[in-house]
Structure 1
Amino acid sequence: MKDPALLRAIDRLALGLALLAAVALVLLALNVFVDVLGRAFLKQPFPGTLEMTAQWWMPTLTLLAFAYTEKRQEHIKVTILLDALPPRMRQLVEGCFGLIATALLVALAWYALAEALESFGYGETTSSRPPVAIWPFKFVAVLGVGALALQSAATSWRYFTGRLPLGAADTHEGEAV
């Protein structure tokens, strides 16, 4: 049975953000590569590499990948207590925990938005020379956590409707479910 259009849109958003995270990884590698070349051959590092890595690339590649990881159910879970439950009860419990997680993520996204708007208001930069603007990447946190909240809600819906956990054919030997 096909998921509703809203869930498919949330899944596409998660995939799109994961692709942006992959782009951030490539940009991080290029940034460090240019820095290393500059240090080795020109005796001059690429200005702001440390700040860009810490404030731009790492948050972007991690935060934007969270929703896709949730969609694929690849976050680490400790299921020792859940494993003792009958399958339908486990689905209901996991769905309820997903709703709690969704509520917490929405609150975190709201807080991140307030922080991002404040940072934007005064054009936050690093204290390095030259200064590196970090306020735009505060909005990445809002986007990443917001998308994770949406995907968590979609996962809860899938648990409540019996579409999760994945069927036995979808798991691999040695893989945690």
Structure 2
Amino acid sequence: MRRTLNALYDGCAWLAAVFMIGVLVMVLLSVLGRQFQFHVPGTDAYAGYAMAAAGFLALAHTLKRNEHIRVTLVLGKLKGRARRGLELWSLSVAVLLSGLFAWFAVRLVWQSLEFNDISTGNDATPLWIPQLAMALGTLVLFIAFVDEWVLEARGQRQRFDGSETHHE
């Protein structure tokens, strides 16, 4: 199960990297278009879609690598059961909020598909397509928070002192 979850987080990170390259391509295409007097419609919109996709798809991987900003002022002062209790409480809130975020992101994709919602730009992109990345990213983030909660409940979660990050 651990290999499958790590593969999921890593796969989303690689997909986020692909979308970052997509941002680069769209920006370069826009710059070159201005330089050589040609226009490719929708480059701004597609750059925005790719940027949002990259951000959402990288969330779970960033969490699992302990790269999210975390305020540990109170947590750092606690030891033993008090620290574990606060960790579990914080992770429970994170599971709840990320679950709600994932639910509404998936619902948004469904509604956009159902209503045939398209972008207002000249590209007229069906909005459910770029929204899929947001839904997938939030769903995988929810899974990552559940994973962290289970690891904490079992006492298997890695501790970081706040000044270090986990790199492989």
Q: Map 1:1-177 onto structure 2 (within 5 A).
A: 5=1, 7-41=2-36, 43-54=37-48, 56-166=49-159, 174-175=163-164
Distance 1:167-1:65 versus aligned 2 partners, 3 A rule: closer
How many residues align? The count is 166
Cα deviation, 1:54-76, whole Å, max 9, x if unaligned, reads 2x201110000000011111110
Mapped to 1, the partners of 2:116 and 2:66 lie a distance apart of 37
Aligned residue type for 2:73 = I
TM-score of the two chains, using structure 1 as the length reference: 0.84
The 3-state SS of whatever aligns with 1:142 is helix
More off after superposition, 77-86 vs 107-116: 107-116
Mapped to 1, the partners of 2:29 and 2:53 lie a distance apart of 19
Contact 1:70 1:151 in 2 (8 A): yes
- Runs of at least 5 residues in structure 2 that lack an aligned partner in the other structure: none
Cα deviation, 1:119-148, whole Å, max 9, x if unaligned, reads 012332221223233221212221111100
Mapped to 1, the partners of 2:132 and 2:124 lie a distance apart of 19
Mapped to 1, the partners of 2:164 and 2:80 lie a distance apart of 18
Mapped to 2, the partners of 1:167 and 1:36 lie a distance apart of 43
| Cα offset, 1:50, TM superposition | 1.1
Mapped to 1, the partners of 2:117 and 2:11 lie a distance apart of 27
Contact 2:9 2:60 in 1 (8 A): yes
| Cα offset, 1:117, TM superposition | 0.7
Cα deviation, 1:16-45, whole Å, max 9, x if unaligned, reads 00100000001110111112111101x123
Mapped to 2, the partners of 1:176 and 1:11 lie a distance apart of 17
TM-score of the two chains, using structure 2 as the length reference: 0.88
Mapped to 2, the partners of 1:45 and 1:61 lie a distance apart of 25
Question: Structure 1 vs Structure 2: percent identity of aligned residues?
Answer: 28
Distance 1:63-1:167 versus aligned 2 partners, 3 A rule: closer
